[in-house]
Structure 1
């Protein structure tokens, strides 16, 4: 591969990591599909088939010939996982950067072209190329991982818009090479033709997988790797003595059997509550030794209710993985579980763990095939993602998966749909009723830059997969009557102007909206609420205003809606935090639930304070059953951070100011990590290199700035943190050339 531009040093590292060399799928990509010759490619293959290496091959080759590659992933956790892998493998020879919307983002390097490979989430990259499409001129390859997400009903339209901008070749005179990596999918419906790419498809798994159904009597029906079917009527003996109903009587003896065979097991449950319940009874019943390596590595400060649950489960050799855990806790679980010598035998997780984070196991158990809150059954693609965790190349020789069919769907239905069924076809959601066309139109106009005629806008919209499919089948393009109606709505909202020659120009307000990705409805809601805002706003005001957006209304924080105390407490809490009563009392704009918005604002502000997490949980759940709320609190704070820049921009366009510019500048990092204003200056420098608990302990010791850290004797700093953390912090501050003030 040296003639393609891949260096000998890189080949040597790959040879060390993959002594067997490239597999058949990877060789097909190179030899038959022109992967290393700049040709676009769609790869649809099972987990562990080696498709990720196809993207890596293309990216490293691009860097080797002087180009720049962008790798897009659906989750921040996946970006961080891939960043750690690439910097470890190729960091000496490749300049690898990342951007996910967090404080540690290296967006400056991306704008300046100072990278070989850039790793981003879909949404972050879309925001960049919408606001500054010229960035595309320096990009010659885009790898899209988990490309089947174009069919996702919530995120698919944004991914399709991103691919539309790439396909149109806007601002670069032509499309870059696109390598789309997908899990097993059904009919592509022309996705590869739309991308002007070839299709490389395989259903073959390098690691054999046996898929099984276990019914309520303990009978297992197996689909063997060779396609044959085998039935074992006494596979497990239901444990009728454990009490409870549903899957427990099968899950417990099944996991006991698998662990007894020396297998590492992932158990997938549909809700956080079920992960906790299942992990608790497995830890109590299996009699496994404590997972000491994980327990010793867990953070020991600012613990939540779920932190205690995790520790209790790990003391029984079982991990629990859900959104209520801190990112550092989830990272410890993932790292320790993937270690072949791990002392964690079982992890009970929600389906997020199936999205691609590298957590292989010999066996996967799925107890329940229905999404929570009545949102329907799992798709076949989701099922395939979960069972794909079983058996990974180079780690295990074979994989096993088990669907525990004790409820709905019944065993025969589960067998027909999931075990022998085919994944759903690729489906566009660009024109769905749930997708806001005005937001898509505005983002396209922002990306087109300047004043454009309607025909130019239509040309871009008709580059979308949805309209391309319709026109490819002989149908019509973008409906001009509907377009004119949507344009009039954008004009009425002061997001567009129409020039005398009919050209469309995005207003300053429209530019903020389009660049940020906020829905148009969010912009109009914020603008409406600002009629009641003070001329100079506090950071609490900005947090309150953010809650009326569509984006925040989509974040669930439990509310006891009928409890009068809930309705009374949160307005007072917000006003004590510095929010204007005129805003707090008018959160009904857009038809949202006022108390839910007030409570979300209070949760975000509590998180961005010195209040310990367990105290925040007690406050948030005072009128509710249960005490675990750390996940929703972090989600609210994180989503508030995501929309913050857009909210501030809208405020400025409307002529409103802020009380403290520095406090506003530091609000984002406070919401990301969960810190009070007093220590935001230190967090602005070192970001997530310390945990929330470590920051709060520094603050309690009177250490709140980089200068104060550097002035502190090392021994004293080590007492507050730990010797290793203290040394790492001082090295980091020294590397970032923090200047110690003269005393």
Structure 2
């Protein structure tokens, strides 16, 4: 008796609209390896991904059946998508031509009947009815045929299908296999018996699959059909050379330091070589402990608490690559879009050539949401908010992840962003109950007491206070005395500046008096400085006076990289600073300008010696400095809140980066010796604050709504348990036994409010959110703001109202009231904003902006924000917007950073409004489409008619696009038709040349091109 086999697994799809599968290829590889290792004389064909086309696969399967003799056993396995009318989907299947690019199961049924084979075993890990991300191809208006699984089976023909014709076939988190294939391997390879036989083993496979499906919350019951006289007996499948080659142990439990230790575990040569080049000394102590003591490369979750520049980011990077090597996805969650963009570009350059697909998702047009939803990626970078949004809308995202790396995990304590981080972690904790448990690697700066944070997450903690680059921290007073803690921990003082060097340079004493002589001394020694300031204006001013005082050469490369169009007042200031070898880094700069500054500062010969920055630069952007100067010790505009110790440590940690400096220095400024001693005791010698949830009892309604948006339905009695599942609830219930009874008392009233607002429904005691409730619960809004938004939307006659009115409506939300629009607080100068609002949005707009307790001053700020947004999306130049809305240059100056903060925050909350509008106005698709159009208009600041310019093959900045609009070049065709001199005048010589080249490449690659 001879065995013939064809194993097919299709993860990848040529058609970009088809969802990719992470486990189908592994299914085929595993079964081929096991059967090949067990049957040395097996005649087999393995077809996966690009090789598994319709032609090649159909021929292989049909030929295997056709040439089989009456002594042969034919084994066929298919893992991949099916279609609702009973067809198998291949790599080259096209959703618009299913009949021509798929293989009908009826064709296979005919071949099964015609074959002479003694027996045929067909393992079908696919489904024909289901939904993404099940193993079914979703197509619209596809008629269901009379196809039946029974038609494939018969005498001597055994079919083992993943599920019934009305169910979905799912993949198992962790193993990277379909549920059926995982159960088949467990039953045929992991048992104690020397032989296995069908149909005897079928019940085991069915039960294993059903249990795995139920744990995930799905009903999946495999189908076993057909029979073979005398049974179909196989020896227990063996894991031999083929299996070990295709599935090497990626679990690394010990390394000695060199990255080459990872090569035997499947890590690609190209990636290991890169690591060796970046870190020739191999893994540092922290990283080796993570691998050897905490098994981070054996998929064990871990919290790493260590100072900046300690190497903890590499721990997450190692875990991510290990996950990809094991056939799973990896995601990094980061606090800011700027860091997402930086990491995306860095990892694309680093790993793209090794074949890894790197994507990002930060809420911008450049996002790869489509790739993420169709699993067409290996590494993804998200902001916290976007990950939570995508995971709530597409729950299958979690089940396909091998690791979630949460960077800057201390943000859980942030008053505004902490709720998002905590809800993400609570979602991961709760997913474990369903068997979905991607590895969690949480990276954090040094923290105080954890207060049970690690116990709530059920992860061990790797704590280190060591830095590869030692850090000296100190406080300098106006007498020039520096009190500091040396790298060895000893407390010392020294006269860092002579007293005569510190002179009053303006009408009043200021930090400038100390910063200038300190910078002069440090820069003269070849050091690079970051001066942290607590506002955009102060950072800008600091860079300007340092440019005047230091007498440095121009930063030529950075100047050459700056955009030439759409300049703001900050753009002109930046040029002045770069001419003097300094720069500033803040939201007042465009992304292109910030990137030019970052590159110039990182480069040893970039010409930028001193960088003045707002505090956001402390959160992970790669800007190594030898010395960091903290000119203030409190935030501006937040009621003068002092820096927390953790915030100070993050800023101080920017000093001294591995590969750049042997020692880093962090210097905080004080006014006098008494304050110097106080600041030294608090910040240098102090311990960071304890971990605390941002959960507050007064925010219970918001937390309840957010939690309910993550579950299908619960009874009222189960709700306190959901809240205890959060870190805040966990900590509160531990600290106060009466907390849960208190929550139970509040639940009834909150549920009543949800029901009355039509945000929830009660079905026989089970509470679940309505479509409207899901939209509000998954939004960025508080409970009260969500109710406010619903009321506002319902109060508008949208049949006679433009979609742009939504932008005005959003300004009434409490989240938008937190967004600053610099406004004079005295007199009635700003009252003009009311008439400006009426001109842009109509008479009702001014009335709307008075809603919900707004006093006169708050109303004017709302009007000002609405007007700024209106001008921004209509293409008014930045410098003109700055001029129009700057009431007083010193007290109420509107800068580019203010404009972008207003536009970006409105865009962020517009996504929430879009969900509410969709739930309430399903019968108005034109309005909804128009609202959707507002999102790119807010991002790019363009009028509707010019949106086609976003489709140009190269990226242009807003100023360049506005220049094209002035020339009536509103789409690609018009742009490419422009004379060279006109195009150059609009977008500059460099961009013009790039655009022409991109156009030629597109033309040469077009169908029919010669």
Q: What range is the shorter-chain TM-score in?
A: over 0.9
Is residue 646 of structure 2 the alignment partner of residue 381 of structure 1? yes
1:682 corresponds in structure 2 to 949
Matched, 1:651 2:914: no
Tell whether 2:765 aligns with 1:502: yes
CA distance in structure 2 between the partners assigned to 1:264 and 1:355 by the alignment: 19
1:130 paired with 2:130, answer no
Provide the C-alpha distance between the structure 2 equivalents of 1:643 and 1:248, rounded to a whole number of angstroms.
Answer: 39
Query: Do the aligned residues in 2 keep the contact of 1:267 with 1:364 (CA within 8 Å)?
Result: yes
Instruction: Check the 8 A contact 2:885/2:894 in 1, yes or no.
Output: no
In structure 2, what is the equivalent of residue 110 of structure 1? 372
Which residue is equivalent to 2:636? 372
Change (3 A) 1:646 1:473: closer
CA deviation map 1:212-235 (0-9, x unaligned): 211111111221101112221353
Structure 1 SS opposite 2:669: strand
Does structure 2 conserve the Cα–Cα contact (< 8 Å) formed by 1:529 and 1:583? Answer: no
- Secondary structure of 2:710's partner? helix
SS at match of 1:372: coil
| Residues 115-194 of structure 1: pairs in structure 2 closer than 5 A | 115-169=377-431, 172-194=434-456
1:52–1:367 Cα change, 3 Å: same
In the superposition, relative to structure 1, how do residues 496 and 198 fare at CA in structure 2: closer, same or farther (>3 Å)?
A: same
Separation in structure 2 between the aligned mates of residue 171 and residue 566 of structure 1, nearest angstrom: 55
Query: 1: CA distance between counterparts of 2:936 and 2:647?
Result: 34
How far apart in 1 are the matches of 2:473 and 2:979? Answer: 59
Query: Kindly tell me: are residues 582 and 735 of structure 1, through their superposed partners in 2, closer, same or farther at Cα, counting changes over 3 Å?
Result: farther
Aligned residues between the structures: 733
Displacement of 1:716:
4.7
Task: Indicate whether 1:16 and 2:277 are aligned.
Answer: yes
Counterpart Cα distance in 1 of 2:898 and 2:911: 21
**Is the alpha carbon distance of 1:105 and 1:735 closer, same or farther for their aligned partners in structure 2, counting shifts above 3 Å?**
farther
Task: Report if the CA contact (8 A) 1:391-1:399 is conserved.
Answer: yes
Q: Secondary structure at the match of 1:178?
A: strand
The alignment partner of 1:6 has SS state of coil
CA shift for structure 1 position 287:
1.2
Assess, with a 3 A threshold, how the Cα gap between structure 1 residues 190 and 653 changes in structure 2: closer, same or farther.
Answer: closer
CA drift of 1:322 comes to: 1.9
Change beyond 3 A, Cα 1:554–1:171: farther
Structure 1 position 517 matched with structure 2 position 780: yes
State the Cα deviation string for residues 568-621 of structure 1 (Å, max 9, x = none).
x334333433x2422332222222322211111111111112211111011111
Q: Which has the higher contact order (CA 8 A, sep 6+)?
A: 1
Q: Give 1:641's aligned residue.
A: 907
Q: 1:611 to 1:24 in 2, by over 3 A?
A: same
Query: Does residue 421 in structure 1 map to residue 722 in structure 2?
Result: no
Aligned-partner SS, 1:130: helix
SS at match of 1:2: helix
User: 304, 317, 322: which is aligned to 1:56?
Assistant: 317
Take 1:355 and 1:166, find their aligned partners in 2: how far apart are those partners? 24
Segment of structure 1 superposing worse, 731-740 or 195-204: 731-740
Structure 1 residues 483 and 321 mapped into 2: Cα distance closer, same or farther (>3 Å)?
same
Q: 8 Å contact 1:317–1:346 — kept in the other structure?
A: yes
Q: Residues of 2 paired with 1:295 and 1:163: CA distance?
A: 43
CA RMSD of aligned residues (A): 2.4
Q: Which has the larger radius of gyration?
A: 2
Match of residue 933 from structure 2: 666
1:274-353 matches, within 5 Å, as 274-353=538-617
The separation in 2 between residues aligned to 1:518 and 1:732, in whole angstroms, is 42
- Change over 3 Å in CA distance of 1:80–1:652 after alignment to 2: closer
332, 335, 347: which one aligns with 1:74: 335
What are structure 2's unaligned runs of at least 5 residues?
1-261
Of 327-336 and 625-634, deviating more is 625-634
* Structure 1 residue matching 2:340: 3-state secondary structure: helix
TM-score between the two structures when normalised by the length of structure 1 = 0.94
**CA-CA distance at 1:325 after TM superposition:** 1.8
1:359 equivalenced with 2:620 (yes/no): no
1:87 corresponds to: 348
Pairwise CA distance, 1:533: 2.1
CA contact (8 A) 2:399 2:438 kept: no
In the TM superposition, 1:154-303 aligns within 5 A as: 154-169=416-431, 172-233=434-495, 235-237=497-499, 238-240=501-503, 242-243=505-506, 244-303=508-567
Q: Is there any run of 5+ residues in structure 1 with no aligned partner, and where?
A: none
Describe the shift of the 1:531–1:188 C-alpha distance in structure 2 as closer, same or farther (beyond 3 A): closer
Assess if the C-alpha contact under 8 Å between 2:824 and 2:830 holds in 1. yes
| TM-aligned CA deviation for residue 379 of structure 1 | 0.7
Report the 3-state secondary structure (helix = DSSP H, G, I; strand = E; otherwise coil) of the residue aligned with 1:344. coil
